[in-house]
Amino acid sequence: MNKATGGGATALRAALLLVVPAALLGAALAWALARPDPVQSEAPVRALADCAGATVLGLATLPRLHDRLEPPWRLLAGLGGLWAAMEFAVLACEAAQVVGVPLGRLGVGQFGDYLAHVSGGQVGIAILIGTGVVTGYCTLAYRRPRHATADPVLVFAAVALVLRPITGHMSQQVLGSVLAAVHALAASLWLGLLLALALVTRTRGEWAARLPRYSAWALPAVAAVTVTGVCNGLVRMGGLAPLIDTGYGRILLAKTVLLTGLLVLGWWWRRSWVPRAGDHRMTAESSLRRAVVEVLAMALVFGLAATLAVTA
């Protein structure tokens, strides 16, 4: 059997929807670790927005991973719209936080003032423009795929993904904005490209051709995530005691533990899964199962990271 057909593969692909509860679980875990330190209310929505943006970036990167892969424009348009909606929700939560009212009581005038006069609101507008362009372009590309290329999607998605990190707390450090941009893009590519492969790869032969190339891309992405994360953590913490004494430190410690587990898993699968899949010695369903496991683990880390970004 070359194809991952039947109920097993369908169920596994449907299991990718568990990215949503996995990211929310990561945010909830971070909230529990942060107490009694304050955490802003937009953390869960930001986790979902980050996952949606990473998926868009991954799907748009597929043609660069393998020359026979075409962007799934219809799926990209739908996910782009979902990403834009999530970013709007993040922006509304941020506005309510700044104004000091519950989200349900945020007035139109208050929201408008936040967008016009607060830097966070202006950054949010830029992100909405970016995600809107991605959605609109992918919708047009679905109708006229022969005249479309994924390059504009890559550019606008990358910019939208880094705008908040480069204007956040890391921007106050030396080279902090650069580190934040590299960290955000590398993490998004690591998650998004594997999730994209799981969505579009169907046969054992396709996994054999694509998985080794993904592994080659994932290695520098993982290295970039690790190095930039360590640099930021060392500068922000200033010692070991804050890792236990502060909510930010406890979330960072949990994220580091989970990331270390992902690194070990990636090392093991680079020695076992990737060679076997590349030699056509593993079924498509088995490869899909491993991809789903890793994607869900990464989504959990994304939930922690999103909460970390808005923790005092």
For residue 59, being part of any structural domain is answered with yes
* Confidence (pLDDT) at 4: 43
Q: What is the C-alpha to C-alpha distance for residues 110 and 68, in angstroms, rounded to an integer?
A: 49
For residue 147, being part of any structural domain is answered with yes
For residue 110, being part of any structural domain is answered with yes
The helix (run of H) or strand (run of E) holding residue 56 is helix 43-65
Instruction: Judge whether 286 and 10 are in contact, CB under 8 Å.
Output: no
Q: Which residues contact 234 (CB under 8 A, 6 or more apart)?
A: none
Q: Mind giving me the DSSP string for 6-38?
A: HHHHHHHHHGGGGHHHHHHHHHHHHHHHHTTS-
* Confidence (pLDDT) at 225: 93
For residue 296, being part of any structural domain is answered with yes
Instruction: Write out pLDDT tens, residues 196-214.
Output: 999 999 999 999 999 999 9
**pLDDT at residue 58 above 50?**
yes
Q: What is the C-alpha to C-alpha distance for residues 260 and 52, in angstroms, rounded to an integer?
A: 24
* Confidence (pLDDT) at 233: 77
Instruction: Write out pLDDT tens, residues 95-135.
Output: 999 888 988 899 999 999 999 999 889 999 999 999 999 99
**pLDDT at residue 170 above 70?**
no
Tokens of 130: 């970016």
Reported as a pLDDT band with limits 50, 70 and 90, residue 174 is low
For residue 116, being part of any structural domain is answered with yes
Region for residue 39 given its phi and psi (left: phi exceeds 0; alpha: psi -120 to 50; beta: otherwise): beta
Specify the number of domains making up the chain: 1
| 184: containing domain | 6-309
Tokens of 37: 């330190």
C-alpha separations of 271 from 194, 205, 212, 276, 298 in Å: 17, 19, 11, 9, 19
Does this model's pTM top 0.85? My answer is yes
For residue 154, being part of any structural domain is answered with yes
Query: Residue 117's domain is classified under what CATH number?
Result: 1.20.1630
In the chain, what percentage of residues exceed pLDDT 90?
70
Instruction: Write out pLDDT tens, residues 238-296.
Output: 777 777 888 888 999 999 999 999 999 999 999 999 999 999 999 999 999 999 999 99
Q: What is the C-alpha to C-alpha distance for residues 312 and 306, in angstroms, rounded to an integer?
A: 13
For residue 1, being part of any structural domain is answered with no
For residue 184, being part of any structural domain is answered with yes
Closest CA to 254 of 271, 229, 282: 229
